[in-house]
Amino acid sequence: MEKRYNAFTGYFREKYGCRLQKIVIDAGFTCPNRDGKVGVGGCTYCNNAAFHPNYSTPDKSIFQQLEEGIEFHRGRYRNTTDYLAYFQSYSNTYAPLDNLKMLYEEALEHPKVRGIVIGTRPDCVDGTLLDYLASLAREKVVIVEYGIESCYDRTLSRINRGHNFDVARRAVEETAARGLFQGAHFIFGLPGESVEDMMGMAPIINSLPLNTLKFHQLQIIKGTAMEMEYANRREDFVEFSLDGYIDFFIDFLELLRPDLYIERFAGEVPPRFVNHTPWGLIRNTELLRLLEKRLVERDTFQGKLYK
């Protein structure tokens, strides 16, 4: 490990011999936590518009979104020639299997697309779908990405996730049983969780057969139920300063399994979507630089305390 943590950057180059750029696709899915199947109103922190690049809107075909996304990234990464279609918006397995096949396969027909990344909820997969994805993965890159957010049922209930942690564990185990590459997303700073609670998630995450991890500090998105909760019960939220978060994350990293890839440890939602920006406006590249600098200062690394 060149870096002091197992950075996901570089994984594709190592495994496939080239950089693979993700192109975000909005295929017009909804979410069972919004349409009434599981719940209404969605998770209390959710405003999907906050995660959308402009080129991905469901009124465009998948092919057109890919073309525009490739054009958008061409200026930034001139040497990139291969792409992954990233089905990111809402729950991207929440449709009958035949519809899903049409959408995924439309993306895979694009000559520059090497594979798909599918973001979804753990309660939106079943054995038949996972078998199909495993069959696709014989020829293409297929990555399943689950929003898990917290390992604690009391938190999942408070943020209105509409599923418990056991559902997430089962989905991850069934996905791993089929040999699929998979990641999960977690949020630090959810209401009611202390720093010790968050730290306590490390051994639980270690026990899951995951490959990659994305973490986010909680950001209060305008217009969400959580904005109201934050205004009324601020004492229930652990708020990190930028330096405090980096030190917290390094403590967490020391406990993590060394083979788990870290795809993201923090992130900034565009400022127009958040109700405040406690860290100022800071780019992801700068966040990574600060993390690496602090790891060197503390002379520590991912998994140092992993048992």
Residue numbers of the site for ligand SF4 (CB under 6 A)?
31, 33-34, 42-43, 46, 48, 90-91, 121, 147
Nearer to ligand SF4, 237 or 306 (CB): 237
Tell me how crowded residue 147 is: count the other CB atoms within 10 A of its CB: 21
Q: With the C-alpha atoms ordered 243, 252, 147, 258, is the resulting torsion angle positive or negative? A: positive
Task: Give min distance, CB of 87 to ligand SF4, in A.
Answer: 12
By beta-carbon proximity to ligand SF4, the closer residue of 47 and 302 is 47
Question: Which residues, listed in sequence order, are joined to residue 84 by a DSSP beta bridge?
Answer: 22, 115
Smallest gap from Cβ 31 to ligand SF4, in A, equals 3
CB of 112 to ligand SF4, least distance (A): 28
Q: Strand ranges (DSSP E) for 121-208?
A: 141-149, 181-188
* Min separation Cβ 9 and ligand SF4, Å: 25
Minimal distance, residue 45 CB to ligand SF4, in Å: 7
Report CA torsion sign: 68, 72, 74, 80: negative
Q: Smaller CB distance to ligand SF4: residue 49 or 296?
A: 49
Please name which of 154, 93, 99 lies closest in space to residue 129, comparing C-alpha atoms: 93
The gap between the terminal CA atoms of the chain, to the nearest Å, is 18
Cβ nearer to ligand SF4, comparing 26 with 254: 26
What's the rounded Cα separation, in Å, for the pair 115 and 107?
A: 8
Nearer to ligand SF4, 5 or 45 (CB): 45
Whole-number Å distance between alpha carbons of 40 and 30:
12
Which of 29/55 has CB closer to ligand SF4?
29
To the nearest whole angstrom, how small is the minimum distance from the Cβ of residue 229 to ligand SF4? Answer: 15
For ligand SF4, the closer CB: 46 or 142: 46
Question: Nearest residue to ligand SF4, using CB?
Answer: 42
Element (H, E) at 117: strand 113-120
Q: How far is the CB of 201 from ligand SF4 (least distance, A)?
A: 18
Spatial CA neighbour of 214 closest among 250, 182, 183, 190: 183
Residue 266 near residue 285, CB atoms below 8 Å = no
